[in-house]
């Protein structure tokens, strides 16, 4: 598969790379980052996907989350995709929470978004195929995590692809886009007004329809997070887990907000959570 190296930099004995390729699913050039741990020199290593939140690119977590130290220790490859299609041909919206930087990890069906905004297919199918072919990744050992909109992505993609992922976690995730303003706006715009179709991209609905999984889901949530009550609503996911008997560790942290200072404080716990399941 064809892809271009933008940069590769030594970090904690591994390689932090930025890459670009022409994506078929999103019909545009897409960027992503991969941290390859030193253990990949000796053989395929497990992969943890990190999906970012609104306004982010592949760069935010790569420079701010501080995952490289622990990933190098545990021998985990970390892949960070971008959060939407990009480029002059790609439609956009003035708002920060729709259009570019806000792909919501769905396959859009509504015009004009349905040409490029196929982030679900991109993240679950096209980019994994490239990672499998071009990096020393063991695709039988994959975990997924993310932040905010990316936490929604991680939870829904995990619940829809239970054979693919052995572990999942999330930082301050949108747990039910059907029940918050960010989600209602995005799903209406990308998928249309029929709320029945939205359930396919709602972690709470997917859990209730699909039933419990065998893994323990780790979620961290700051209690000083400005979006906690209006958008994130972890109590909805807690209730859905209880209803179907899904094991979840939801940790609420006094004083922490929605920023990468929160994520960096707990990323080590998440990577150890994934490594335990992937080793």
User: How far apart are CB 66 and a second copy at their closest, in Å?
Assistant: 4
- The whole-angstrom separation of Cα 143 and Cα 154 is 9
Which residue's CB is nearer to a second copy, number 140 or number 226?
226
191 versus 232: smaller Cβ distance to a second copy: 232
Q: Catalytic residue among 33, 52, 84, 148, which? A: 148
97 is catalytic: no
C-beta of 35 vs 120, nearer to a second copy? 35
Active site annotation includes 33: no
Min dist. Cβ of residue 228 to a second copy (A): 14
**Cα–Cα distance, 127 to 270 (Å, whole number):** 22
When the beta carbons of 15 and 142 are compared against a second copy, the nearer one is 15
225 assigned to active site:
yes
Residues that bind a second copy (CB under 8 A): 9-13, 16, 63-64, 66, 68-69, 222, 224, 253, 255-257, 259-262, 264-265, 268
To the nearest whole angstrom, how small is the minimum distance from the Cβ of residue 171 to a second copy?
14
CA distance 190 to 98: 9
Tell me how far, at minimum, the Cβ of 19 lies from a second copy, in Å.
15
Of 116, 147, 258, 274, which is the active-site residue?
A: 258
Residues labelled catalytic: 148, 225, 258
């Amino acid at each position: 598969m064809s892809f271009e190296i933008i940069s590769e930099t030594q970090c904690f004995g591994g390689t932090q790379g930025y890459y670009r390729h022409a994506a078929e699913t999103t019909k545009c050039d897409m960027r992503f980052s991969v941290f390859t741990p030193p253990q990949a020199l000796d053989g395929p290593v497990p992969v943890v996907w990190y999906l970012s939140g609104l306004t982010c690119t592949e760069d935010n977590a790569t420079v701010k989350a501080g995952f490289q130290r622990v990933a190098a220790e545990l021998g985990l490859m970390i892949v960070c995709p971008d959060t939407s299609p990009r480029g002059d041909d790609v439609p956009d919206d003035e708002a920060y929470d729709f259009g570019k930087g806000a792909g919501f990890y769905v396959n859009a069906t509504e015009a004009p978004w349905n040409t490029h905004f196929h982030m679900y297919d991109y993240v679950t199918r096209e980019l994994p195929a490239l990672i499998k072919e071009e990096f020393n990744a063991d695709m039988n050992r994959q975990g997924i995590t993310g932040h905010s909109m990316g936490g929604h992505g991680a939870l829904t993609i995990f619940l829809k692809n239970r054979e693919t992922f052995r572990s999942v976690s999330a930082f301050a995730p949108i747990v039910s886009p059907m029940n918050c303003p960010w989600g209602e706006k995005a799903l209406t715009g990308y998928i249309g007004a029929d709320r029945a179709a939205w359930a396919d991209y709602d972690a709470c609905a997917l859990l209730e329809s699909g039933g419990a999984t065998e893994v323990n889901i780790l979620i961290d949530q700051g209690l000083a997070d400005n979006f906690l009550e209006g958008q994130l609503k972890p109590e909805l996911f807690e209730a859905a887990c209880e209803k179907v008997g899904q094991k979840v560790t939801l940790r609420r942290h006094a004083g922490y907000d929605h920023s990468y200072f929160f994520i960096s404080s707990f990323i080590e716990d998440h990577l150890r959570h994934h490594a335990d399941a992937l080793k």
